[in-house]
Amino acid sequence: MRIPKVCPEAKQWWTQFHELYNSSLHYLHGLYSQLDNPNCNIEIKMRAYFTRQLQPCLAAFRRTCAENAPGFHSSLRRAQVNRLSNQEKLVEQDTYEIRSYYSSLAYTLGLLAVRIQGFRYECQTCSQNTFATPDTLWQLLNEVFITYEYVMNDALMCNEPNHSSIMVTNNLFTFTCHTLCRTLIFESFDIQIVSEETAFAIQNEIIQCRMGNSSPREPKVFPSAALIAMKPTSGVKRNNATANQKGTGGNTAHKKSDVNSQEFVTIPPTFSDNSNAWQTTYPHLLCTTRQKDAVLLDSRAGTTGKRPLFYFYIRAKTWSPTGNYIHVRTLSLPFTISTRRNQDCQVQRMNSSYTATCFWMYGTCGINGLLLNWNEKPLTWSQFKHLTRRYFMVNGEVIRTMEESDYALLQDKMHCEQCGDDSTELEDEENHEGCISFKNILCSHLRFDTDTVQMRFSVWRGILEVLQIFQDPKAAVKVLWEHYLMHGFLDTQAVVNLLMPRHNCMVIRLTYILGGSVCVSYRNLCGEIIHLEPLELKKLQAKSILEYISDIAETAKIDYLLTYNLEYMPVSSVIEKYFPVDDVKRVRGVASNITDKGPLNHVTHVKFTPLRVAVVACRDQTPRPSPRPSESHDLPTSSSSVHAPSECVFTAPNLPQRYHQNQNHDPLMSMMMMTSSSSSTSSPTNTTPTMMTPGPMDQSFEMQLEALMKQYGKTPHDVCEIVYSAARPNNNLNQQQQHHHQSHHHPSLIPPTTTSIRSPTLGPPSSQDRSFEDLMDDLTNNGDYSSNLDFSHTNHFLRV
């Protein structure tokens, strides 16, 4: 005998069965020796053997299987959950143990059946003993066959769903159901969708059938929770007016997905060469309209956000050795059904609750035989981090997972007044760690408010938004994440601490702003830390993060990227390695006969340089202070008026004109505009600083200072020293004399006379440019603008 693996609960029943099994074989062997005795009434002894030996032996065998089968099915279900959670396929090694178990059961019953069949043949062919009747012999054999029906009533495995635990209505999916015992030969498979409560009743029915209290020949009928349909494999469109094949009337619905929707569908069996057994598979099944809304209502959904769970209920019709039909039954993994109401404004919130329900169900993994029990018990903070790390790796398809520092933002933001009541159930004296309930992860207590947008979202919604960015190949965020070029979830102060001791570098990080996005921060040459507008999925689908990095580095003059390991990575090498120039950006040669004048057969060749949409930072509009009353008469009133001389260097700008001319406030564009202004106002006879009219050439103090620092190669520290020394009147004369003395002894310190980049509003034009210290002296002597030297951390927006 092949002794199977026996659990502790079934060990005593297996021992009892083994003893009765040996004694029954010995008793049956004794009946063989008495067939030659014509005076022995073998009929009476066969009936005694049936009641005293065979029935107790098979009853102990059924009890052993009833106690032993749940352990094997739970192990198989745990393997299925792990495979689905990691989005892996079920391998043969996962089902080897349970297949061996059912094979040993069939082999053990086969030994008894063969002995009784042999004794039946001897009785029918023996001419000396005529007492044995065929009915009694068949009763012995039929008892073994009925036991075979009982123990094989759950020898099925349904590995659905095997890709996603969320079924979308009218979406096609492939259905496969495998057998766990090769001796079963099927006629058909019935697939039905049942609710979570109905699945509990079905499992109890299967348990009763194992015990022998219910017959597998006529199983109970259970109600359906959702309709299911089959799409023809030929691909031909279905006729909407085709009558229902079940005889329940015609279906004239206009939607093709509603045609042939039934409470259950019947699929024929197919033979698998790999497993050498009969199974079923169908490539085009779909869940359609809900059958009854009352069935889908869950009492826990209103308070916690839990969505209804469903199971596939499979009834396989197979042949029994008795000559009758029996039904082998099983349940699939749990899943949810999401509707296609795309016009609903709450679609994203609903999708969050669907995925969160499956995450909590498969994460807690409360296995109960074929079912997964919903666990209301809160998770500890360590369990929550472990499960979300796995979920992030699997669904984001990345190897690098989130670190402990990435959870610092969420640690104190998991509870609020509305959802904080359920999280204290698990806390005790030994466990001081915070607990996370299912209600906590779906509560919309995170916020993001602007002057135009007021957004409320949950922790789980934020995780899903970030995962959508990783799942989109156009965003290219996964490339930076896997190569540790991007930081995780950092707060604003941590970013400032990273950038303060560093210059000329940028930091890319994940953030929960706008639900989930990517944020870029950098420190410019002036020492100002700039947080650019977060890039959500919609923007990253139009331009990848690598294109944004290239544009930001070009316009802001940033050369390095600060990696996760706090190493400097040149932006040019990042773009060259991960964002090669494609065919769209190269110069194209065009041959045409319409570009130039001439006959029709005259073709000219022209090279066109392609254009691309660039991204620049839109600087904040710095408000100018009002002019002092003593200087109000010195300011021009219009662009055509004649200006009187004045000591005021800066003039009131015309903001609307400047905004349209240099809307992005790009420093490079500012210097180009100042160069153009310098060349156009180089005549010393008719141009003075006070005669310049307000217009597009005026720049803010910050922009002029940034242009000067780039022109003279000054750092923010140098500027601060110059401003400090210029603010002391006693040192101004000494500083000018010292500078004059250095100019005579060191001619190389004199600024070049051919420099064309200068600001027309800083002083009178001359044959050579003034020194940086003199220009700063003019700036600091003006009291109206000395307060604008502020290197505060401000947010800037991106503009295409």
pLDDT of 350: 54
pLDDT of 193: 93
Q: What angle do CA 43, 44, 46 make, to 5 degrees?
A: 65
Please give the structure tokens belonging to residue 217.
């020949």
Distance CA 29, CA 34 (A): 9
- Helix 545-556 / helix 571-578 crossing angle, nearest 10 deg: 150
pLDDT of 654: 36
Identify the segments of the chain with pLDDT beneath 70.
1, 127-132, 233-259, 289-304, 340-350, 421-433, 580-587, 619-699, 726-800
Measured in Å, how far apart are the chain's first and last C-alpha atoms? 78
Distance CA 587, CA 609 (A): 5
pLDDT of 86: 86
pLDDT tens digit sequence for 743-769:
444 444 434 433 333 333 333 444 345
pLDDT of 702: 78
Distance CA 241, CA 258 (A): 11
Q: Count other C-beta atoms under 10 Å from residue 648's C-beta.
A: 16
Rounded to whole angstroms, what are the CA distances from 43 to 37, 141, 288? 13, 15, 60
Distance CA 158, CA 335 (A): 13
Type of residue numbered 173: F
pLDDT tens digit sequence for 554-609:
888 888 999 999 999 999 898 888 876 554 455 678 888 888 888 888 888 888 77
Rounded to whole angstroms, what are the CA distances from 60 to 3, 11, 29, 709? 15, 11, 21, 93
Domains along the chain? 1-151 (no CATH), 153-233+259-292+306-377 (2.60.40.630), 381-418+435-578 (3.30.505.10)
Q: Where are the alpha helices (DSSP H) in 50-133?
A: 55-85, 92-125
pLDDT tens digit sequence for 667-715:
434 444 444 444 333 333 333 333 333 334 456 787 788 878 877 878 8
pLDDT of 674: 42
